[in-house]
Structure 1
């Protein structure tokens, strides 16, 4: 039986989260703040911790930092759907949390029917993840970037480069659980003159993708934008808006990335399969590279397998570095991966493939 420690300063949330998990067959204990959580982590030895972000005495980030140093285990952050909550959650993912889930808002009792099954799924998946002892300590995170600065970056000019069919191509990246720090690693390693535009589908709520794109924009040499309206694809990195899909289309001015309502045909959003399939309708497969990285499920595996069969190139993150080898593993098992690379080698492989 999977053991879960539920940490939240709200007695109601401890009761709701704990009840959902017990009903799903998990063994559950609770803690009311970060200090008590550290005691229970050692005594209870949980397989997974769900951790509130805002708590008295010791907040979620400080508690997570200590957990990853003293007894590393999978941690799922429970976050409010606010800009501040999104920023703190992204910090938590950099510190070692494997996933996050937005807390129910409004009448909690009315949200349990949708929140409960998703919570149980995320916790069960987290229990299977690979966790390493803290590699990004809180002090290092604060030295790297002053708090909240990445949410309000200085305006950066769009670097104009040749679009597909004009001497370049497209890189399409799909990622889910464990994705934000993985994308940080890959995208921040690419040079400012990387010649192909990059479109990213990261499974994430809409309230998080704006902060995520702004943060990446502050870390990467390439300009990074969230696609919230029809946007001409010229260069840099384009992040799909959360809780929706991003599709590629062609207009008189050239290729554009479009936000689209999430399709009921696809389980995860922004959908990697839909992004890749739409791009194949407008760009020659030989001018595309698909990259599938850490994440549970199989989103992107079918479309990228089809892309490879049609003449495109594909990269799957290797099992040794993926937090969850679900999506990239499905691509490999389907015979759809040209290259299987550890996370730290993906950017180098991309530069080799595009001749950068």
Structure 2
């Protein structure tokens, strides 16, 4: 039987979460703070941990860091709908947690009833995560920092060959479970000289995508913002799809892309859906285009990658060894429309090579 350690300083939330998981066939343990959680992980070796963020004593961020350094275990953060909670959760993801689930808006709210399906789905996805790949991504981040300095100066492997980049390149990146850390590594690895427009679709609760955009903006020389309806995206800008809204490409004129937000029906049970952004990009972007599918559970992005390939764009999928969850890349690869399957650290240079090679062939 799969075991889950439920960590929360609220007895009420421990009971609610524990009962939901027990009713779905999980063996449940509990802890009321981070320090007790670290002890329980060592002694009971649970398969999965659900972790509250704000707790007295050792909080969720510190507990994640301790667990991932001593007894790596798939961890799902369960966080409040607040700016502080979102920032803390993203820090926990940076320390090695796999995914995030937003708490209901109030402990006695009817929204508690909606928690069950989302919780079980998230726990199942997190349970499939390869925590060793997460550890490798964290280790690669330090190396990426030094590489980013070189790339900013135009000394990537691609740039060193003397290639120039095509004008107005567009990259559409889709990610889900385990994605935020890899997204950070990928975007910081793209040189300023590429001057791409980058559209990011990360499956994440609505209250977290603006903080993800702010975090990415702090660590890259690209300008990063959460998407807004009617926004025009220019070269050198990154747009992160807003949680609970599909992000559609409406037009591509004079190197600018205009975006639209909709709350149309969910696809694959998610909104934003990667397929929506990729398919509309394939239909409307006439500038050079590249689609990238990263870690995640399910098949979102597979149809979008196929559409980009059929429109003449390039396609790249993350490989199994570096994907915390290989579901989405695997489904994309199975379409037969993926040009390259690469470890996460090799994807930035591959994107540069796609556009550099095109520039050279037309030069």
Q: Is TM-score (shorter-chain normalized) higher than 0.5?
A: yes
Within 5 Å, which residues of 2 pair with 1:196-215? 196-215=196-215
Alignment partners' CA distance in 2, 1:255 and 1:118: 33
Within 5 Å, which residues of 2 pair with 1:1-356? 1-108=1-108, 110-132=110-132, 167-235=167-235, 236-250=237-251, 254-284=256-286, 287-355=288-356
Structure 1 residue 167 displacement after superposition: 4.0
Assess if the C-alpha contact under 8 Å between 2:278 and 2:307 holds in 1: no
In structure 2, the gaps of 5 or more residues are 146-165
After the TM superposition, list the runs of 4 or more consecutive aligned residues in structure 1 that deviate by more than 3 angstroms. 133-137, 251-254
In 2 relative to 1, CA 248–71 (structure 1 residues): closer, same or farther, beyond 3 Å? Answer: same
Assess if the C-alpha contact under 8 Å between 1:190 and 1:221 holds in 2: no
Alignment partners' CA distance in 1, 2:313 and 2:335: 15
Alignment partners' CA distance in 1, 2:337 and 2:119: 31
Structure 1 residue 212 displacement after superposition: 0.9
Query: Bigger CA drift: 180-189 or 307-316?
Result: 307-316
Alignment partners' CA distance in 2, 1:196 and 1:184: 16
Assess if the C-alpha contact under 8 Å between 1:33 and 1:57 holds in 2: yes
Alignment partners' CA distance in 1, 2:312 and 2:194: 22
Cα shift readout 1:194-229 (whole Å, capped 9, x = no counterpart): 232111111112211111111111100211111123
Structure 1 residue 311 displacement after superposition: 2.0
Alignment partners' CA distance in 2, 1:49 and 1:178: 15
Cα shift readout 1:137-166 (whole Å, capped 9, x = no counterpart): 8xx99xx9xxxxxxxxxxxxxxxxxxxxx9
Query: Bigger CA drift: 117-126 or 167-176?
Result: 167-176
3-state secondary structure, aligned to 1:17: helix
TM-score by length of 1: 0.87
TM-score by length of 2: 0.86
Structure number with the higher helix fraction is 2
Structure 1 residue 262 displacement after superposition: 4.2
Assess if the C-alpha contact under 8 Å between 1:247 and 1:259 holds in 2: yes
Cα shift readout 1:7-50 (whole Å, capped 9, x = no counterpart): 11100000000000000110001111112112211121100000
Alignment partners' CA distance in 1, 2:251 and 2:306: 23
Structure 1 residue 193 displacement after superposition: 2.0
Alignment partners' CA distance in 2, 1:135 and 1:55: 28
3-state secondary structure, aligned to 2:247: strand
CA root-mean-square deviation: 2.2
Alignment partners' CA distance in 1, 2:108 and 2:247: 31
Structure 1 residue 276 displacement after superposition: 1.1
Alignment partners' CA distance in 1, 2:320 and 2:306: 18
In 2 relative to 1, CA 28–221 (structure 1 residues): closer, same or farther, beyond 3 Å? Answer: same
Structure 1 residue 83 displacement after superposition: 0.4
In 2 relative to 1, CA 186–18 (structure 1 residues): closer, same or farther, beyond 3 Å? Answer: same
Query: Bigger CA drift: 71-80 or 244-253?
Result: 244-253
In structure 1, the gaps of 5 or more residues are 145-165
Cα shift readout 1:222-273 (whole Å, capped 9, x = no counterpart): 1111112311121221111111111111287753022222433452121110
